[in-house]
Amino acid sequence: MSYRKGSKVWVEEKGEGWLEAEVVDAKERAVVVLTSQRKKISVLPEKLLPRDTDEDLGGGHVDDMTKLTYLNEPGVLYNLKRRYALNEIYTYTGSILIAVNPFTRLPHLYNEYMMEQYKGVRLGDLSPHVFAVADASYRAMVNDSRSQSILVSGESGAGKTETTKLIMRYLTYVGGRAVLDDRSVEQQVLESNPLLEAFGNAKTIRNDNSSRFGKFVEIQFDKTGRISGAAIRTYLLERSRVVQINDPERNFHCFYQLCASGKDAELYKLGHASTFHYLNQSKTYELEGTNNEDEYWKTKRAMDIVGISRSDQDAIFRTLAAILHLGNIEFSPGKESDSSKIKDSTSNFHLQMTATLLMCDPDLLVSSLCSRSIHTNEGIIIKALDCAAAVANRDTLAKTVYARLFDWLVENINKSIGQDVDSKAQIGVLDIYGFESFKHNSFEQFCINFANEKLQQHFNEHVFKMEQEEYKSEKINWSYIEFIDNQDMLDLIEKKPIGIIALLDEACMFPKSTHVTFATKMFRNLSSHPRLEKTKFSETDFSISHYAGKVTYQTDSFLEKNRDYIVAEHCNLLSSSRCPLLSGLFTSLPEESVRSSYKFSSVASRFKQQLQALMETLSSTEPHYVRCVKPNSVNRPQLFENQSVLHQLRCGGVLEAVRISLAGYPTRRTYAEFVDRFGVLVPELMLGSYDERALTESVLEKMKLDNFQLGRTKVFLRAGQIAILDVRRAEVLDNAARRIQGRFRTFIARKEFVKTKEASISVQAYCRGCFARKMYKIMRETAAAIILQKHVRRLIVQRNYQEACSAALLIQSCIRGFIARRYFSTIREQKAALVIQSFWRKRKVAMLFQHYKRATIAIQCAWRQKLARKELRKLRMTANEAGALREAKNKLEKKLDDLTLRLTLERRIRAAGEETKLVEISKRDKIIETLSAECAAAKSSARSEHDKNLLLQRQLDDSLGEIAMLRSNKILKAEEEKQNSNLKNIVKSLSEKNSLLENELSTARKSSDDTMEKLKDVEGKCTHLQQNLVKLQEKLTNLENENHVLRNKAFNISPKTVSEKFSASIGLPNSEQKHIFETPTPTKHLAPIPHSTGTRRQKLPVERHEGNHEILSRCIKENLGFKDGKPVAACIIYKCLLHWRAFESERTAIFDHVIEAINDVLKAKEADGRLPYWLSNTSALLCLLQKNLRSNGFFGTPSHRSNGSLGLGGRTGQLVGRGDTLAQVDARYPAILFKQQLTACVEKIFGQLRDNLKKEISPLLSVCIQAPKSTRAQPGKASKSPGAGAQQPSNSHWDNIVNFLNLLMDTLRENYVPSFFIRKLITQLFSFINIQLFNSLLLRRECCTFSNGEYVKAGLSLLEKWITDVTEEFAGTSWHELNYIRQAVGFLVIHQKRKKTLEEISQDLCPSLSIRQIYRICSMYWDDKYNTQGISNEVVSAMREMVNKDTANLVSNSFLLDDDLSIPFSTEDLSMAIPATDYADVELPECLHLHPSVQFLLKVS
Catalytic residues: 156-157, 161, 207, 210-211, 434, 436
Distances in whole angstroms, Cα of residue 140 to Cα of each of 149, 228, 1101, 1112: 11, 18, 66, 52
DSSP 1405: I
Q: Of 1287, 1439, 1436, 1433, whose CA–CA distance to 1349 is shortest?
A: 1287
The alpha-carbon radius of gyration of the chain (Å, integer) is 53
Q: Which backbone phi and psi does 598 adopt, to 5 degrees? A: -130, 60
One DSSP character per residue, 782-801 reads: HHHHHHHHHHHHHHHHHHHH
Q: Of 456, 454, 485, 480, whose CA–CA distance to 468 is shortest?
A: 480
What ranges in 418-486 are assigned the alpha helix state H? 443-474
Handedness of CA 1143, 1144, 1147, 1150 (dihedral sign): negative
Task: Tell how far CA 540 is from the center of its chain.
Answer: 56
Q: Which residues contact 951 (CB under 8 A, 6 or more apart)?
A: none
Q: Of 173, 160, 169, whose CA–CA distance to 189 is shortest?
A: 169
Which amino acid is residue 276, in one-letter code? F
Q: Of 1090, 1085, 1089, whose CA–CA distance to 912 is shortest?
A: 1085
- Give the span between the Cα atoms of 460 and 1067, in whole angstroms: 98
One DSSP character per residue, 876-900 reads: HHHHTSHHHHHHHHHHHHHHHHHHH
CB atoms under 10 Å from CB of 584, counted, come to 14
Enclosing H/E stretch for 1189? strand 1189-1191
What ranges in 192-291 are assigned the alpha helix state H? 193-200, 253-259, 263-267
* Prior bond of 128 cis (ω within 30°): no
Handedness of CA 694, 696, 702, 704 (dihedral sign): negative
Whether residue 167 contacts residue 381, with contact meaning beta carbons closer than 8 Å, is answered with no
DSSP 1486: G
- Give the span between the Cα atoms of 87 and 102, in whole angstroms: 7
From the number of C-beta atoms within 10 Å of its C-beta (0-12, 13-18, 19+), residue 372 rates as buried
CB atoms under 10 Å from CB of 368, counted, come to 24
- Give the span between the Cα atoms of 1425 and 1267, in whole angstroms: 13
Paired sense of beta strands 714-717 and 667-670, if any: antiparallel
C-alpha angle with apex 1050: 1048 to 1054, nearest 5 degrees? 125
Q: Of 601, 619, 724, whose CA–CA distance to 667 is shortest?
A: 724
Query: SS3 breakdown of the chain: % helix, strand, coil, rounded to 5?
Result: 65, 10, 25
Separation of first and last alpha carbons in the chain = 99
- Give the span between the Cα atoms of 47 and 734, in whole angstroms: 26
Enclosing H/E stretch for 375? strand 371-375
- Give the span between the Cα atoms of 214 and 895, in whole angstroms: 94
| Helix (H/G/I), strand (E/B), else coil: 235 | strand
Q: Which backbone phi and psi does 220 adopt, to 5 degrees? A: -100, 145
| Helix (H/G/I), strand (E/B), else coil: 233 | strand
* Prior bond of 530 cis (ω within 30°): no
- Give the span between the Cα atoms of 661 and 657, in whole angstroms: 6
